[in-house]
């Protein structure tokens, strides 16, 4: 299957993957998501609020047969599929002072930055720490499985997983809203 997966902070660019043009980059995808948000707002859907992302920069809770849109979530409840984060166990981290002596976590936090040594992780990191796409996306195009996640507002530290060209995804979403 042809697809594009972009980790946080990497530009999408105008790349072609397996002969499929995936679009013009993070900014094009961000603007498309903000456009969807504006259209939903004009249609009476309540928009998620915020400051830095602008009036249409946080998305909205919306779902139809074509796509799902959900704002970034801060609830941090274990059962929330949007709040999935690091699941590494604290015991997997080994903490050291500047001399290289292993110390406990409580002692580690009592030290100044200069007195702390290098932390070492023991074992396999969780999917989140490996940079894999975990948890529910903030945007899902149902037919293709294309998905986007962002941190706090649209465009910030986005993770993009496109299965088809972005312009096709966006047009299908807009069409589903009667545009």
Q: Are 95 and 104 in contact (CB under 8 A)?
A: yes
Cα–Cα distance for residue pair 155/146, rounded to 1 Å: 16
How large a percentage of the chain has pLDDT more than 70? 87
Q: Under 8 Å CB-to-CB from 141, ≥6 apart: which residues?
A: 66, 67, 147, 163, 164, 169, 172, 173
The whole-number pLDDT of residue 15 equals 41
pTM over 0.75: no
Q: Where are the alpha helices (DSSP H) in 43-83?
A: none
The whole-number pLDDT of residue 83 equals 85
- Pairing mode, strands 62-63 and 20-21: unpaired
Give me the residues paired with residue 60 across strands.
47
The CA-based angle 123-82-25, given to 5 degrees, is: 90
pLDDT in tens, 37-91: 999 999 999 999 877 778 899 999 999 999 999 999 888 787 888 887 778 888 8
CB neighbours of residue 23 within 10 Å: 24
How large a percentage of the chain has pLDDT more than 90? 46
The whole-number pLDDT of residue 11 equals 39
Tokens, residue 2: 């042809």
The whole-number pLDDT of residue 7 equals 39
Domain-wise residue ranges, the chain:
4-85+131-176, 90-121
pLDDT of 169 over the 90 cut: yes
Q: What is the mean pLDDT of residues 5-28?
A: 48
The whole-number pLDDT of residue 123 equals 86
Q: What is the mean pLDDT of residues 83-106?
A: 86
pLDDT of 178 over the 50 cut: yes
More confident: 92 or 21: 92
Q: Where are the alpha helices (DSSP H) in the chain?
A: 26-42, 105-110, 166-176
Confidence of residue 141 (pLDDT cuts 50, 70, 90): very high
Backbone angles phi, psi at 58, to 5 degrees: -115, -5
The whole-number pLDDT of residue 5 equals 40
């Amino acid at each position: 299957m042809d697809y594009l997966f972009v980790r946080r902070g990497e530009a999408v660019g105008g790349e072609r993957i397996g002969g499929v043009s995936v679009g013009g980059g993070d900014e094009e995808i961000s603007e498309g998501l903000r456009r969807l948000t504006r259209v939903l707002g004009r249609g009476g859907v309540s928009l998620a609020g915020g400051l830095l992302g602008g009036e249409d920069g946080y998305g909205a809770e919306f779902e139809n047969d074509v796509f799902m849109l959900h704002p970034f979530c801060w609830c941090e409840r274990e059962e929330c599929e949007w709040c999935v984060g690091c699941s590494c166990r604290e015991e997997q981290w080994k903490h050291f002072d500047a001399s290289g002596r292993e110390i406990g976590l409580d002692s580690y936090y009592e030290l100044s930055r200069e007195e702390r040594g290098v932390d070492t992780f023991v074992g396999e990191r969780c999917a989140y720490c490996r940079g894999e796409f975990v948890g529910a996306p903030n945007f899902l195009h149902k037919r293709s499985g294309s998905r986007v996640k962002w941190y706090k507002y649209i465009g910030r530290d986005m993770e993009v997983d496109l299965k088809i060209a972005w312009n096709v995804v966006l047009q299908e979403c807009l069409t589903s809203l009667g545009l």
